Amino acid sequence: YAMLLSLIFLIVLVAAVVGFVFRHEIKTNFESNLNLALKDYNVTADRHSEAVDTIQRTLHCCGVQNYSDWERTEYFSQRGIPRSCCKREDDCSENDLKDPNKAKLKVFVDGCFFLVTSTMEAKMSVVAGISFGIACFQLIGIILACCLSRYITNNQYEMV
């Protein structure tokens, strides 16, 4: 049991170190995937499009760097900026969303990439604290399992 807990502890430790060391690559990968999701955005029930809409509605952002990122997409040429960027749903018309100058007043102008990464970094201390707490419980479990094993081994010869 102690060996199993030690293995799990090491796996979690390696994952934390790898996540910390490669955090910049994770950000770059996220940015490129968000750009691809914008490029391939459509109104069908595509999970990438739903994810973009959810991010934009939840974080009150639009596009990757800013709302003008949508101007380089095929979706913009057909329908304009998506409704998930609107500050108020009832105030956005399709004509407003097709005109970047009018849309600037009706949609969130901040990009989602900075907001997502800053939100993740802000929550990292909570994640690190919870992970540290779990690691402490694992170490306590390892120590107790070793003590139990030693106790059983020492007392094995006294049984009659």
Q: What residue segments make up the domains of the chain, in order of their start?
A: 1-158
Residue 55 makes CB contacts below 8 A (sequence gap 6+) with 61, 112, 116
Residue 123's pLDDT is what? 82
Residue 102's pLDDT is what? 85
CATH of domain 1-158: 1.10.1450.10
What are the per-10-residue average pLDDT scores of the chain (160 residues)? 89 82 84 89 78 90 90 87 88 83 88 88 81 87 90 70
Three-state secondary structure along 83-122? HHHECCHHHCCHHHHHCHHHHHHHECCECHHHHHHHHHHH
Residue 127's pLDDT is what? 80
